[in-house]
Each structure stands twice: as C-alpha cells, then as structure tokens.
Amino acid sequence: MTQKTEIDISIVIVNYNVKEFIAQLFDSINRSIGELTYEILLVDNNSVDNSLNYLSSKFPDVVYISNSSNIGFGKANNQAFKEAKGTYTFILNPDTLVQENTLVRLKQFLDLNQEYGAVGCKLLNPDGSFAPESRRQEPNPISALGQTIGLTKLFPNNKRWAGYYMNWLSEDKFTDVEVLSGACMFFRTSVLKELHGFDERFFMYGEDIDLCKRTRDLGYKIGYLPSTSIIHYKGESTKKDNIDYVVVFNKAMYQYFLKHYSKTYSYTFKFIIVVGIIIRGLISYIRLKVLKYWQLLLDLLILNSLIVPLFIWRYDIEYHTFFTNYKSGYLVVNLLLSSFYTLAGFQTGLYDSRKFLLGSMFKSVFLSISGTILVSFFLRDYAFSRLILVLTCAFSTFVLTIVRLFVRNTQINKTESGRIKPLRILIVGIDNRTPDIIRKIRSKVNWNYEIVGLVSQKNSIQIEQLENVTVCGSVGNLSRLCQMLKIDQVFFSSNTLSNNEIVRQMTLIGELNIHTKLISEAKEYLIGKSNVEYFDDVPILDLDLAYNNTFNVLTKRLFDIVLSIILLIVFSPLAPFLYLKVINSKNNDTIDLNGENVSILSPYKTFKWYNRYQLLIQILRGSMSFIGAPLIRDGEEAPIKYKKGLTGLRQINEHRLFRIEEKHQYELHYLKFYSIWMDFDILIKQLFNLKNKS
C-alpha cells in the first residue's frame, strides 16, 4: 500500500463472518486504486470465523478494529470514521466487488462537483442484472404502501406507487437521488464528520436512508453515477430467513418514521403507519418461511393428496359409496400424518438445504405412516384402512423421490449429491495455475461438476488443451459458447481478468440463467451468490471407515441379496441366451473375486450387460456387490482393498477423471462416508447417466 502523508480515500468496511468475501474485495480494491493514495479500515463485529487472523496475515497494511460484540452496522462504521484520514470516505459492504475504474470515477466526480456531498454507482446482482436499490427516493407513506401491497410491481413506472426505486429512469442515466444504498456510499469525509456519522440508534437497516436525508438537509446534493459499477452479493453478511431480520428491519423503519415524520402527521395517521409496518413485517416473515420450507409444504401436499385417490380406489370402486365411507373424522388422520411427517423430517435433517437426503425422506415417510397406524389403532373412531396407509407409504416414497430428483436437477447452483448429471462448467481465464485448479475441482468428490472447457482471456488461443480440457474459445465469445455448450455455471479466474471485464461478461450472460462464481486470487475457494466453496479440505487420516461399520455391512449385504434375487427372477428368460453366449464366445476372460477366478466376456465394456447379468450370481453369493470397487484396474494398485462392484462412485465419474490420485480420492470418499443411501444415489445416477462408459 502506498504510504503518503495525504490520503485521498479512506475505505471503511464492517465485517461479520464473511472473511472470504472481504479477501476478494481487498484484492479488487488493490487492483483498482491506480495512482490514488488510500487506507482501508476494517471493523470486525465479533466474528466467530477467525476473520481477523485470516485477513491480517494476508493483508497486514489494513487498519483493523476489533469489537467484543456485534454493535451494529452504523456504530461500527462510526468507529472507523473517527480514524479516517482520507479526503473522501468510501463505505462498502464486505460482500462487494469493485471495478478498476470505480474509485477513480467516484473521486473525480466529487472533485469536480463541490455541491455534492456524496455519490454512489450502479450496483449489480451476482447474475449481472441491475440492482434497483442503487438509487432510491426517500420513503414516504405512499411509496411504502405501494411497496407493501405490491403496487410497485404492478405499476413499475408509476412515480407515485413505484417512486422508491425510481424505476421510471434508465439505469444508465445520471441523476440526483435522495438515498444511496449502504452497500456503496462515497462521501466527503468532512460531511461525515459534520454529521457525526450514522445515527447509532439504527442497529442495521435504515441508517443509510437517515444519513442521506441529513446530508441533503445540510444543503448537499447526492448523485447516482452509472458509468461505473460494483457487484453486490446481497445479504451474505446477514441472514434474512429468520424472525430476527424481520424484527430488526421493521424496527428500523419505525424508528425512521418516528424521527422524521412523527411531527407531521396526526395520531390517527401514526397509528395507521404503525399498523402498516406490523402487517408488512408479518407478510415478510410469512413469505420468508414459505420460501424456506416450501419443500415441506410440497411434501405434505403430496402425502395428503395421495390418500384420497387411494381411498377412492379402495372403496368407491368396490362399494360406489365413497362419500359415505370417507368420514369427516378421517381428516384427523391427515393431521396425524402431516404432524408425524413434519416432526420426523426435522428430526432426520430432511430439510437441511445444504444436503440431498433420500435416506431421511424414506425414514420420515416410514415413521409418519407407522405413527399414524399406531395412533389410529387405539382411536377406533378414526380407524383408517391400513391397506391405504401402506399404499400411501409406497406411492409417496416413489413420488417424493421423483420430485426431489427433479427439483435438485433443475437447480443450477446445487452441486451436492442428488444430481443425476453433473453441472457443466466453463473456466474463464488461463494462467500457469489453471492446471492446479482443474485438478482441485476434479478431486472434490462432493462437487458434481464437469469441466466442459477453458476460455482464454486473450483473443489468440496459445494452447489447445490443459489437463485433458479443451480450450474452446476466447472471452469475447463467452456468451455464444455458453449457449452452444449448454453451460450451467461459469467460473471466472479473478487474477487473469480485470474486474471490468468480469462485470461486463456477467452482464452479457446474465439473461442465460447461468450461475457465475469467482475463483479467488489465492486459488483457495470459489465465491458464489449463496456460499463459499473451498478447494482444499483439511486432510485427516481416519481409519474408522463407515464402510466397515457393522450396521452398514449388514444393510449393504441385505440390499445386495434382495436386489440380486429380484433381478435374477425378472431377467431369467435371458439366462439360456447368456449361457450360449458365454460358451460360443472366443474372447473369454477371467476376473478375480476374493481369490476366485470368474469367467466373463471380453472386452468387458463391450459385453457389459451380459457380464452384469452373469455377475448377479456372484453378488448373491457375496463375492462382490452392486456398488463397489472397479472390476478391472489394468495393473493399477487399489488404495484400499474392498469388494468389487458392478458400478461405484469412481466408475460413474470415470469419464471426467484422468489421474490415478483423482480416482483414488473418489474411492476413499465412498469408503469414508458410506451409507446405504449413497448406494441408492449411485445406482440412480448409473441408470440415468447415459454418458457413463463404465
């Protein structure tokens, strides 16, 4: 960092458990500062993610201020304002990324326009779309009402009802505004000191509106400058899916109303405003809960709707008296079923949004049906057909599985288990560390990615391939490449492309419903809208493999026996043909199964379906399993010896693994984290993934 007695800009950031976003922000600031002198002041509000140690080791020149508790956004900023030495103070959210020209253009604007006390720029969402909070008018009862009851969306260009976000103006038009977003506010430091910074009565939310109003009350203008922009990963430092957020936000709105409008309106109107704020808070809270637990609501709808058609099938066809047999008291059964399923779902972790838990769903359905049968057995007035409940269990398990698979496979930002096909990605930007990035992505077993290609940051393609990944074009053709190759996600290498170019490309591909992520300059993690994904896990040597757990051994063996018997019976008509095929084949080979040589047709992959049917007998005998180690290793040494299988975690990913260590990583992951539900997941992927060549 340049050291001079005079500082142009003091950059103030408040952190609360988002160290990775801040590290990326610091890198972007260092690349955009140009010839300006600056200082960065970071206030940490008692983060529990080791933020200060992590950041101070990487960015020792930053001024760090540590708090022993979370004192709020406004008060934390004020701590830094008192220390600020710059002519201007740039207030930034931690989950932002600035362009190379942002600081220079904002400073130049205030240098040339002394009547302005502050200026902001265009904010972009992570998908490149315009964030309407970039420029706002001061909220008033009319615009607040329009926002609350949805008139803003119905009449987006109406100045009365949609005035808050100034939607009638082009996002690329400079204009004076009344309010800037607290995520990006470029102030004259003298103005901030004259105003004594933020009003500390606002813990979070509303303080930016209040500060801008007081700035205008001093006689200064506030400008919106769209010629530069920043990316804002909205809300990463605050979780908005709980009651605390709703309470804090609406409390701030009420505080703002009391401070600036309470003397203007009558007590009756004040009461109406307060009631409106309460109603708005309740609507917001209900909406957040519906969004958070929509999967639960859908599950309950499916469960309860299946009972009625099954009841019709059971009674209406036989007695033609459905409405007579379906007593209104049976609604208690629906209530019991819903209650048991909800309790079981939360107990088994079914609604953990970070995971795809088919096992938890099976348990929840079984427990809910069993509980309903048990209770209805003792409450004879509500005795329900046991047959219908058992059929509901079977049908709902099937339907809920299909629904979950469909939902997971339509989410382009989900990489965890449950995806039948991996997400197709492009890596944009090539340097000498790109091969290492490719290897790291491939070695992450939980990242269900397929690297489709590399995109050069230069117009001329210097190389054709890296780590078996083709360089398919240059960044100038990124949008067209994404469409041609049916890309789901794009990873931008932040140290090979300018922030300006990254922002431009995000905007261009934003309409294609493509999820974008940044590879940090240190190549340690990916930054996306909703999470941070580390490339390297902490390596821990643990010989206690879940695969060897007694319960898992028994369930796996039971699964192999039951499924192999079913398949042998179903495909028994093929047995004579298979037998003749084996006898007449001149290309027989053998594989070793626990010391026993078993004859198969060679080459194995050419005759894999014949071989698989023949090997069902070996599965029934216990010599191998449906899911296990590769049958043929071509001289390769196994990382750990375990039963061979018709398929496996490594086998279904073989087409995108090119190094032995990558393949071994998948096998070790399977053994370490094994469960019977992982076997189900692998079988589903094997059946649906037509590209699999194993």
Task: Give the model's pLDDT for residue 634.
Answer: 77
User: Where do runs of H (alpha helix) occur along 266-330?
Assistant: 267-292, 294-311, 317-319, 322-325
Q: Is 367 helix (H, G, I), strand (E, B) or coil?
A: helix
Task: Give the model's pLDDT for residue 264.
Answer: 62
Task: Give the model's pLDDT for residue 219.
Answer: 95
436, 370: one domain: no
pLDDT at 115 over 80: yes
For the stretch 584-620, pLDDT in tens is 655 667 777 877 777 777 776 667 777 777 789 899 9
Q: Is the peptide bond before 309 cis (omega within 30 degrees of 0)?
A: no
Pick the closest to residue 65 from 48, 54, 57, 77 (CA basis): 77
**pTM across the whole model:** 0.77
323, 197: one domain: no
Task: Give the pLDDT band of residue 470 (cuts 50, 70, 90).
Answer: very high
Q: Is 297 helix (H, G, I), strand (E, B) or coil?
A: helix
14, 127: one domain: yes
Both tokens of residue 151?
A: 């008139």
Beta bridge partners of 474: 456
Task: Give the pLDDT band of residue 354 (cuts 50, 70, 90).
Answer: low
Picking from 251, 267, 292, the residue at the C-terminal end of a domain is 292
What's the rounded Cα separation, in Å, for the pair 75 and 86? 19
Q: What is the mean pLDDT of residues 95-114?
A: 94
525, 471: one domain: yes
Pick the closest to residue 209 from 263, 161, 144 (CA basis): 144
Q: How far is CA 296 from CA 241, 303, 528, 665, in A?
A: 16, 10, 26, 35
| Contact in structure between 586 and 602 (CB atoms under 8 Å) | no
CATH number of the domain within which 30 lies: 3.90.550.10
Picking from 505, 534, 563, the residue at the C-terminal end of a domain is 534
443, 519: one domain: yes
pLDDT at 246 over 60: no
Task: Give the model's pLDDT for residue 169.
Answer: 86
pLDDT at 242 over 50: yes
Q: How many domains does the chain have?
A: 5
pLDDT at 61 over 80: yes
181, 283: one domain: no
In a domain, 158, yes or no: no
Task: Give the pLDDT band of residue 1 (cuts 50, 70, 90).
Answer: very low
pLDDT at 50 over 80: yes
pLDDT at 635 over 70: yes
Task: Give the pLDDT band of residue 372 (cuts 50, 70, 90).
Answer: confident
Amino acid identity, residue 19? K
Task: Give the model's pLDDT for residue 691.
Answer: 47
Q: Mention every residue, 6+ apart, whose C-beta is less than 8 A from residue 496.
A: 429, 430, 431, 457
- Percent of the chain having pLDDT more than 90? 32
Task: Give the model's pLDDT for residue 529.
Answer: 66
| Contact in structure between 449 and 422 (CB atoms under 8 Å) | yes
490, 590: one domain: no
Picking from 355, 378, 408, the residue at the C-terminal end of a domain is 408
In a domain, 164, yes or no: no
Task: Give the model's pLDDT for residue 91.
Answer: 96
Task: Give the model's pLDDT for residue 542.
Answer: 44
In a domain, 539, yes or no: no
Task: Give the pLDDT band of residue 281 (cuts 50, 70, 90).
Answer: low
- Percent of the chain having pLDDT more than 70? 76
pLDDT at 149 over 60: no
What's the rounded Cα separation, in Å, for the pair 293 and 389? 25
User: Cα 511 vs. chain centroid, distance in angstroms?
Assistant: 19
Q: What is the mean pLDDT of residues 160-168?
A: 74
User: Cα 492 vs. chain centroid, distance in angstroms?
Assistant: 17
CATH number of the domain within which 460 lies: 3.40.50.720
20, 44: one domain: yes
205, 57: one domain: yes
Domain of 435, in residue numbers: 423-534
Task: Give the pLDDT band of residue 352 (cuts 50, 70, 90).
Answer: confident
Task: Give the pLDDT band of residue 60 (cuts 50, 70, 90).
Answer: very high
Task: Give the model's pLDDT for residue 533.
Answer: 75
Task: Give the model's pLDDT for residue 263.
Answer: 62
677, 561: one domain: yes
| Contact in structure between 116 and 107 (CB atoms under 8 Å) | no
In a domain, 541, yes or no: no
Task: Give the model's pLDDT for residue 362.
Answer: 83
In a domain, 151, yes or no: no
In a domain, 354, yes or no: yes
Query: Which one has a higher pLDDT value, 135 or 239?
Result: 135
Task: Give the model's pLDDT for residue 681.
Answer: 85
What's the rounded Cα separation, in Å, for the pair 216 and 477? 45
| Contact in structure between 441 and 451 (CB atoms under 8 Å) | yes
495, 525: one domain: yes
Task: Give the model's pLDDT for residue 142.
Answer: 65
Query: Which one has a higher pLDDT value, 179 or 614?
Result: 179
- Tell me which of 108-122, 219-233, 621-635 is least confident: 621-635
Specify the residue for token string 């109003």. Answer: 213
pLDDT at 378 over 80: no
In a domain, 159, yes or no: no
What's the rounded Cα separation, in Å, for the pair 458 and 21? 27
286, 325: one domain: no
Q: Work out the mean pLDDT of the chain and round it to a whole number.
A: 81
In a domain, 1, yes or no: no
